[in-house]
Amino acid sequence: MKLIQRYILREYRAPLIYCLLAFSVIFLVIDLFENLGRFIRFEVPPGEILRYYGLLMLPIMEYILPISLLLATLYTLAYLTRFNEITAMRASGISPRRIMMPFMLTGLAFVMLSWLCKETISPAALEHTSEYFGRLRANKQISNVHSNFAYYNPVDRLRWWIEHLDSEHPDQLENVVVKFENENDRPERELSAARAEWLDGSWWLHDRVIKTYEHSADFGTPGQVSPRPVEHRELRARPGDFALQISQWDFLNSLEMHTYLTRHPELPKKERARKKTHLHQRLAMPWACLIAVLFGIPAGARTGRQGALVGILLALGFFFGYYALQQIGVFMGIHRTIWPWAGAWLPNVVFLVAGLVMIIRMK
């Protein structure tokens, strides 16, 4: 039994590698011709160009992987069906489930690989490539320092103002002002410090000054400068909250997106729906690899009996149908026509049902 599965994997591996390489080369050539003039104009060295395309391929792989898996599955099963190898396996007592297992395990492995990339290195790669030519045009490097940064925590009614914030070290702040507000959004108390440090789970303020406000006016009474660092446990904003506020939504991973939504209940309904839809879309996209394999198994068996044209049409139908449904679902989720999670998972559910129905009807 294991020999049969190893044989199927061996036959499956070659077309999968060829499809991945072919789609990668096609995409790289198209993008290179589009941006070649920019590389020449900005005199980008070859090593930097290679680095750019190495990072660019990471977020693009989520689109290349499903179609490559589908075509490889179609080709492998069509080949095995055309030469009656599937019939011989069935005649030897091997169940369809055993024959399908190598394909399904490969699809599941690529689901995990795609998810791991999207949650770790793809967001940073997407941020770098998206802003690459803009930085070249402005002739500047990536800056991690943000000036006059404002942050509002609606749960604790705290309004932060930070003169210098380094996104690489958000636990070290310079020239910080924190205002405590009442239920009427009027300031009650203000803390200012030349420097703030996040140590042992709380903020320590250096050269702290406390200013109290009258309830009837916006002027306050300043206090004395504290000579020693003072711990303030009532400041419950964490350094990661500032980093989430700085980063664009598409450059966050799903855990950071969930954290942001949890800590910002004041978001408008439409904005919250948009962010939740993109969060669920990020979780749903890797599963397209498994859905493509599940859809490709019965389609590949049919291709082997009816010719290559059927397989090509099925592959094109899956590719355009899946991404068309994805755009429709995202649009409906953002505009709250359906639940955000339903809009993001819509293409997966539709093609999962279609694949299962085709497998049940497969002879």
pLDDT tens-digit series, residues 220-275 = 456 667 778 888 888 888 888 887 777 788 888 898 898 888 888 878 888 899 99
pLDDT tens-digit series, residues 162-215 = 988 887 788 889 899 998 888 777 888 888 898 999 988 899 999 888 888 765
| Cα distance between the two ends of the chain | 21
- Burial category of 303 from C-beta neighbours within 10 Å (exposed 0-12, middle 13-18, buried 19 and up): buried
- Burial category of 184 from C-beta neighbours within 10 Å (exposed 0-12, middle 13-18, buried 19 and up): exposed
Residue 251 CA: distances (Å) to CA of 82, 197, 279: 46, 26, 11
Vertex 215: Cα angle to 209 and 221 (nearest 5):
30
What pLDDT, on a 0 to 100 scale, did the predictor assign at position 127?
A: 81
DSSP reduced 3-state for 321: helix
Which one is predicted more confidently, 254 or 95? 254
Confidence grade of residue 216 (pLDDT, cut at 50, 70, 90): very low
What pLDDT, on a 0 to 100 scale, did the predictor assign at position 304?
A: 54
pLDDT tens-digit series, residues 112-140 = 999 999 888 888 888 888 878 877 776 65
pLDDT tens-digit series, residues 320-331 = 888 899 999 999
| Gap between the Cα atoms of 122 and 18, Å rounded | 23
- Give the pair of three-digit tokens for residue 256: 């950071």
- If you compute the radius of gyration of the chain from its CA atoms, what whole number of angstroms results? 27
Backbone angles phi, psi at 181, to 5 degrees: -115, 155
How many helices (H) and strands (E) the chain has is answered by 12, 8
Give 13's Cβ-side CA count (13 Å radius). 6
Q: SS in 3 state form for 188-217?
A: EEEEEEEEEEEECCEEEEECCEEEEECCCC
> Can you give the pTM of this predicted structure?
0.80
Which one is predicted more confidently, 309 or 278? 278
| Gap between the Cα atoms of 363 and 81, Å rounded | 12
pLDDT tens-digit series, residues 40-76 = 888 888 899 999 999 999 888 888 999 999 989 888 8
Nearest to 52 by CA among 161, 126, 151: 126
pLDDT tens-digit series, residues 146-172 = 788 888 877 778 889 898 888 778 888
What pLDDT, on a 0 to 100 scale, did the predictor assign at position 143?
A: 57
308-334 and 46-82 helices, crossing angle to 10°: 120
Instruction: Judge contact between 11 and 80, C-beta under 8 A.
Output: yes
Residues 6 or more apart from 103 whose CB is under 8 A from it? 8, 12, 73, 76, 77, 293, 296, 297
- Burial category of 1 from C-beta neighbours within 10 Å (exposed 0-12, middle 13-18, buried 19 and up): exposed
Backbone angles phi, psi at 339, to 5 degrees: -60, 145
Cα 320 to chain center, whole Å?
Answer: 21
What pLDDT, on a 0 to 100 scale, did the predictor assign at position 183?
A: 78
Instruction: Judge contact between 47 and 77, C-beta under 8 A.
Output: no
Confidence grade of residue 217 (pLDDT, cut at 50, 70, 90): very low
What pLDDT, on a 0 to 100 scale, did the predictor assign at position 234?
A: 85
